[in-house]
Amino acid sequence: MWWVGIVAGAFLRARQLAQLSVEPFPWGNATNVTNATNVTPSYEECLDFPNLGFASGYTASTSNGTHGTVSNITCSPGYLATRGELGVTVCNNGTWSLIRFENHAVWKPVDLNCQSERQVALLKEVMHYLDYTNQTWLDTDRRHFPFIDSLASQRRDNLKALQTASVKVINDTTMDIWPSEEDLQKLVNGLIENNVEPRGEPFTEAVCENFANHTLYEYPAPPAPSGFSAYATSNVAPLSAEGRAEPWAKAVDWTCREAVQKTSTGWDFMNARPILFYRVGCYCESKLMLGCPNKYPLYQHFGFSSLEHKDLEPGGGITALCWYWSDPVHPEWGYLAPSDAGHTHEDPRLTGPGSGITVAHVEAPAVNSSLLLR
C-alpha cells in the first residue's frame, strides 16, 4: 500500500529527532532570562553626499546620514514637479532608500520628478505645434494639392517624421523620460519650419480662366450718330433695349490655360526614384502692347510666385507669351482670387456667389507662412 511508506518514513524521522541532544540555554537557566545582558545591534550611517547626491533640480531637507533619518525632497527654484509633489528618502542601515537610479551617477526620488521650467514650456509648445500642424496638414490634404516636387515631398515627409517624434516625446514624458532643452527646441523649430499652411485652391483650367478675367473692364461704347463721338456722363452702365445693364467688355485682350512643368533633375539612389522638379501655373497669351499683364508684384496677390515671359515681334496680334508659376516647394500655396485686385474696374461676376471661385482673397499673405507661427 502507498501509505505504508509514508508512515514508515514519518516514524523514522521521529526517532531521529528524539535522539538529538538539547543544548543548554546560552544565558543559563531559562527562568533567569530577564537577568541576561541586552544586546543592541549596530547600524551603519549613510554616506553624507552634498544634497544627498541628487541630480540638479532636487533639494534635500537634510544631509544627516544617521540611521533612520528622513529627508524630504522638493524641486529646486526654477524647476517644476511633473509627477508627485514631495519626495522622501530614509537612511536605512547605510543605504538611502526610496531612490531610483537613472545611471551609475544620477539618482532621483521615487515619488517625485522635477524638470526645468524651460523644458515644461517647450513641451507645451511641442503639443501646440503638433496639434496645429496636424490640422493644417489635414486641411491641405482635403484640398488635394499635388506634392510631386521632390523638395515639396521632402517637406511633407519631414513634417510627418517630426509629428511622429513629437508623439513619442510626449508619451515618454509620462514615464519621466525628458529630452534636453536643446532637443525640445529643435523639435519646435522643425515643426514650424516644415509646417504646411494651405491657402487658396489648386491650379486648374478653371482657375486659369478665372485669372485671365481678372483684368480691367470697360463699359461698351454707347451708340452715336455716324461721325460723332459719345462720352460717358456718369459711372453707370448703359441699358439695353430690355432695360438691363449691358455686360462689361474686356479692356485687355488675353487668354490663359493651365500649364504644368515636370522635369527629372537626377536620381535618388536611397529611395530608388527620380528627383523631380514640378510646378503648375497658367500659360497666357497677351495682346497687351506692354506685354504680360499682372507683372511683379501683382501676380503674387493671386498666389503665383514667379513669372516667365517671352516677347514676340509685333504684327501677329499676340505680343507676349506669359507663364505664371506656383511655388514648387510649397504646392499648398494655391490660387487666390482677390476681389480687390482690379478695384471698381473689375467684372463683379468674377468673385462672390455664382462665380465658381469661393476662396477668400485675404486667406493668407503671399509670404512664407511659417513666419506666421513665430
**Whole-number pLDDT of residue 107:** 84
- Please give the biggest Cα pair distance in the chain: 151
Pairing outcome for strands 79-83 and 113-116: antiparallel
**Whole-number pLDDT of residue 13:** 54
Most confident of 54-58, 215-219, 283-287: 283-287
How many percent of the chain have pLDDT more than 70?
A: 73
pLDDT digits (tens, 9 = 90+) for 49-101: 788 888 889 998 877 778 888 889 999 999 999 998 899 988 888 888 888 88
Residue among 148, 154, 153 at smallest CA distance from 279:
148
Residue among 319, 314, 318, 350 at smallest CA distance from 216:
350
pLDDT digits (tens, 9 = 90+) for 230-261: 666 666 666 666 666 666 677 778 899 999 99
**Whole-number pLDDT of residue 355:** 43
pLDDT digits (tens, 9 = 90+) for 131-171: 999 999 999 999 999 999 999 999 999 999 999 999 999 99
Grid coordinates belonging to 349: 461676376
Does 343 have pLDDT greater than 90?
no
Does 332 have pLDDT greater than 90?
yes
Distance CA 139, CA 226 (A): 59
Task: Report the SS3 class of residue 88.
Answer: strand
Mean pLDDT of the chain: 79
Domain boundaries, the chain: 50-111, 117-193, 205-219+247-373
Residue with cell 537626377: 266
Grid coordinates belonging to 238: 448703359
Range 184-204 average pLDDT? 93
